Amino acid sequence: MTYSDKMLRDDALSGKTIVVTGGGSGLGKAMTQYFLELGAKVAITSRNLEKLQATADELSSLTGGECFAVSCDVREYDQVVEMHEKVVEKLGPIDVLLNNAAGNFISPTENLSANAFDTIIDIVLKGTKNCTLVFGKHWIKTKQKNVNVLNIITTYAFTGSGYVVPSAVSKAGVLAMTRSLAVEWAKYGMRFNAIAPGPFPTKGAWERLLPGPLVKKFDPAKKVPLGRVGEHQELANLAAYMVSDFGAYLNGETIVLDGGEWLKGAGQFNMLDKIPKAMWTMLRKIMLKKK
Ligand code: HXC
Ligand code: NAP
């Protein structure tokens, strides 16, 4: 068995209907594939219907599951209402909302136009708010219980990070929403959780966060104590557990899946990793002499 094997029993999500925003590519696609393999019906949604339909067709034939593509710009509340109606009509009551859609790019903050900043806030924070409000209000109105929302955030939601400030601000807001509603809406039978992934290579993220020569200059694996980036199945395993009934007691939690990356950046003396073994002997002698 290896860490990239599929973790849950085959029927772990049977009977569940799941909506994955941004499900046409990258991590959303990987999670969708595993949800289908575990017996769920999945609706994938984003702006680009052609891309979504190609993914839905590919994953349906690969898994034999039912994958429904529906276009929706999560920035627009009316489009989210319409997307929700279409999914309920096609697949029946929804059990899980996975807020995965995002927009991001690197830039010195002083170079950002007001519209550039707003664009990221609108996709990440407002988009998550729009979906959460539409789905949550419906669940409350229809008294549907045992439902949950999983939000994909980042570790800089709690550390902050330069050069991706609109994303950091937005993901921090999503984290606050996760924790707030985990308490407020538990009485309606809803759970809210989040995953903060470390580096998981995807075309969407790599093109925008490590463009051109940066990908050679900054190898993300070098920042991870475990010495590697994540594999999509590792994230899919965790997400499937969290949205399934096995995760029924998990509420308000953020699980970091990053091989220790953010802690390495945070620990004040972790840079001493760079000191070779032989030098430690010399340093020890110097310190003991001082005593
Ligand atoms: C500065 C930029 C810019 C850049 C766009 N803008 N890219 N400014 N540097 N690289 C500015 C534009 O000039 C414009 O401002 C405003 O942002 C909106 O740009 P549009 O192209 O009109 O927006 P839109 O078509 O809506 O596209 C949104 C997008 C795009 C975010 C810019 O990249 C996108 O569609 N992204 C979706 C997928 C994505 O980003 N995936 C990566 C997620 S990775 P003006 O003022 O000129 O009008 C992720 C990982 C986090 O989140 C953690 C990793 C460890
Ligand atoms: P990705 O493939 O670019 O995924 C982003 C998705 O969001 C795309 O499918 C995109 O589809 C959709 N989207 C963007 N704007 C939208 C909008 N306005 N309305 C609806 N959908 C929209 O990148 P990814 O790496 O898989 O990222 C997935 C999630 O993981 C994001 O939340 C990201 O912040 C998070 N994350 C990723 C990493 C990583 O290392 N990859 C690390 C930490 C966190 P359309 O273009 O068709 O709309």
Residue 203: alpha-carbon gap to chain centroid? 15
Determine the average pLDDT of the residues in 63-89. Answer: 98
C-alpha of residue 45 to centroid of ligand 2, in Å: 11
Determine the average pLDDT of the residues in 88-94. Answer: 98
Closest CA to 22 of 95, 131, 105: 131
Determine the average pLDDT of the residues in 240-256. Answer: 98
Query: Which of 19, 27, 238, 258 has most ligand 2 atoms within 8 Å of its beta carbon, as the pocket-test mutant?
Result: 27
Determine the average pLDDT of the residues in 241-262. Answer: 98
C-alpha of residue 106 to centroid of ligand 1, in Å: 9
CA dihedral 26→54→236→159, nearest 10 degrees, is: 30
Q: Would the pLDDT of 112 be above 80?
A: yes
Determine the average pLDDT of the residues in 156-172. Answer: 98
Determine the average pLDDT of the residues in 155-159. Answer: 98
Query: Which of 72, 99, 104, 123 has most ligand 1 atoms within 8 Å of its beta carbon, as the pocket-test mutant?
Result: 104
Could you tell me where the beta strands, DSSP code E, fall in the chain?
17-21, 41-46, 67-71, 96-99, 147-152, 190-197, 254-257
Q: How confident is the model at residue 154 (pLDDT cuts 50, 70, 90)?
A: very high
Q: Would the pLDDT of 280 be above 80?
A: yes
119 pocket-lining for ligand 1 (C-beta < 6 Å): yes
pLDDT at 186: 98
Could you tell me where the beta strands, DSSP code E, fall in 10-159?
17-21, 41-46, 67-71, 96-99, 147-152
Ligand nearest to the CA of 164: 1
225 vs 250: CA distance, rounded Å = 27
Q: Which two tokens stand for residue 260?
A: 């220790």
Residue 199 contacts residue 220 (beta carbons within 8 Å):
yes
- The catalytic residues are 156
Determine the average pLDDT of the residues in 220-228. Answer: 97
Q: Which two tokens stand for residue 15?
A: 């009977």
21 pocket-lining for ligand 2 (C-beta < 6 Å): yes
Q: Which sign does the torsion angle of CA 250, 255, 259, 260 carry?
A: negative
Ligand nearest to the CA of 80: 2
Nearest atom in ligand 2 to 123's CA: 18
Determine the average pLDDT of the residues in 235-247. Answer: 98
Summary mean pLDDT of the chain: 97
Q: How confident is the model at residue 70 (pLDDT cuts 50, 70, 90)?
A: very high
Q: List the domain boundaries for the chain.
A: 17-290
- CA-nearest residue for atom 5, ligand 1, is 116
pLDDT at 111: 98
Residue 193 contacts residue 184 (beta carbons within 8 Å):
no
User: Given its phi and psi angles, is residue 50 left (phi above 0), alpha (psi -120 to 50 degrees) or beta?
Assistant: alpha
- CA-nearest residue for atom 17, ligand 2, is 73
230 pocket-lining for ligand 2 (C-beta < 6 Å): no
Residue 174 contacts residue 125 (beta carbons within 8 Å):
yes
pLDDT at 291: 66
pLDDT at 200: 98
The DSSP output letter for 45 is E
- CA-nearest residue for atom 19, ligand 2, is 73
**Residue pLDDT, tens place only, 185-216:** 999 999 999 999 999 999 999 999 999 999 99
C-alpha of residue 279 to centroid of ligand 2, in Å: 44
Nearest atom in ligand 1 to 207's CA: 42
Q: Which fold has domain 17-290?
A: Rossmann fold (3.40.50)
C-alpha of residue 35 to centroid of ligand 2, in Å: 18
**Residue pLDDT, tens place only, 18-60:** 999 999 999 999 999 999 999 999 999 999 999 999 999 999 9
CA dihedral 90→91→92→96, nearest 10 degrees, is: -130
pLDDT at 290: 72
140 vs 190: CA distance, rounded Å = 9
